[in-house]
Amino acid sequence: MSSDGAGERVETLEDLDVEDAVDEALPDFDDGRYLYCIVRAEEGATLETTGVDGEPISIVVDDGIGAVVHETDGIYDSADLAQVRRWLVRHQTVVDEAGEAFGTPIPFQFDTILRGDDARVREWLREERDTLERALSGLAGHWEYRVEVVEIDPIDDDALIEQDERLQDLAQQIDDSSEGAAFLLEKKFDQRLKELRASRRESITADLQERLADVAREVHTLERSPSASLSDEVAGEGADEDDGETLCRLTLLAHEDDEGAIGSILDDVAANDGFEVRFTGPWPPYTFAPELGGDESTDTPPNA
């Protein structure tokens, strides 16, 4: 499985700086299909919604596997971040509605485009059929969930000192030392504090991962302090630093029937004084979608 989602050379929003990227060279094409997701569908299937910039949506089907698309002759790039957010939200809405109509989709990242017409899409579906069939079967009924554990009132230094003999010893040495020696000891003291905080976070994360692994198919850690990416904004993530200290962020792939069990585990964590748990989902399984491609006709522009 790949964290890049479906599509050749797809990059996640976390990896990219939209404002810097829009000036980079982009591929030219006369006829293309903007790709939202792959679903199980029969010939003639439709999805009653509109896509990015109000474009009409269609489903190109080949032997029971459909690509949700709209026609395009260019990529969606803009230095206007508000515009990009609107596009991204519309993209996500189409993928969500496809999931409701057809079951768990294989989602593409924003602005993934296949050069060519519907016939080329059908050809590509045939080329990737084995991978798509395995992914649709394996992901059926499974969704992505995001978990963030935040300590609203982080443990203070005094509490850590009370719990650690090494810190107590260093504090005493600092009081009894000359100015020069005390400076070096203070650096050791600060380093010990950092180590204890990191160890505490790791312990909390490992314990939660172990418990969630009993009910989820896959559990992965995410960066604890993400940049303000567009994808996190759509997911309702990226807490303000003033809200507390983020102890861990996780993403999990789980069957929809196990959502209640996941919620119960998180309720136990939230019951700890000072802890807040932020739980979002179900989302289409972007993190757990297979990497597709091997064909230069599938493009993702720099602002994807």
Rounded to whole angstroms, the Cα distance separating 304 from 192 reads 41
How many domains would you assign to the chain?
2
Long-range contacts formed by 272-277: CB under 8 A, 24+ apart: 274/151, 274/152, 274/153, 275/149, 275/150, 275/151, 275/152, 275/247, 276/149, 276/150, 276/151, 276/152, 276/243, 276/244, 277/147, 277/148, 277/149, 277/150
Q: Is residue 218 within 8 Å of 253, Cβ to Cβ?
A: yes
Whether the predicted pLDDT of 184 surpasses 90: no
Residue 62 belongs to domain spanning: 13-140
Q: Could you tell me if 90 and 165 lie in one domain?
A: no
Percentage above 90 pLDDT, the chain: 53
Tens-digit pLDDT profile for residues 117-172: 999 999 999 999 999 999 999 999 999 999 999 988 666 677 777 777 787 777 77
Q: Could you tell me if 111 and 175 lie in one domain?
A: no
Q: What angle do CA 144, 71, 284 make, to 5 degrees?
A: 5
Whether this prediction's pTM lies above 0.85 is answered by no
Q: Could you tell me if 69 and 186 lie in one domain?
A: no
Nearest to 134 by CA among 200, 40, 222: 40
Give domain status of residue 288, yes or no.
Answer: no
> Where residue 208 falls among pLDDT bands split at 50, 70, 90?
very high
Domain end position, chosen among 140, 172, 190? 140
Q: Is residue 194 within 8 Å of 186, Cβ to Cβ?
A: no
Determine whether 214 is exposed, middle or buried from the number of CB atoms within 10 Å of its CB (0-12, 13-18, 19+): exposed
Give domain status of residue 36, yes or no.
Answer: yes
Determine whether 130 is exposed, middle or buried from the number of CB atoms within 10 Å of its CB (0-12, 13-18, 19+): exposed
Tens-digit pLDDT profile for residues 58-76: 999 999 999 999 999 888 9
Cβ neighbours of residue 293 closer than 8 Å, sequence gap 6 or more:
7, 8, 9
Range in 104-113, 141-150, 191-200, 271-280 with the lowest mean pLDDT: 191-200
Identify which has the larger pLDDT, 30 or 268: 268
Q: Is residue 93 within 8 Å of 239, Cβ to Cβ?
A: no
Range in 126-130, 205-209, 295-299 with the lowest mean pLDDT: 295-299
Residue 41 has phi, psi (to 5 degrees) of -155, 155
> Where residue 229 falls among pLDDT bands split at 50, 70, 90?
very low
Identify which has the larger pLDDT, 131 or 237: 131
Rounded to whole angstroms, the Cα distance separating 304 from 300 reads 6
Q: Could you tell me if 134 and 193 lie in one domain?
A: no
Q: Could you tell me if 114 and 163 lie in one domain?
A: no
Q: Could you tell me if 114 and 41 lie in one domain?
A: yes
Q: What pLDDT is recorded for position 235?
A: 53
Q: Is residue 155 within 8 Å of 193, Cβ to Cβ?
A: no
Q: What pLDDT is recorded for position 115?
A: 93
CA 192 to chain centre: 32
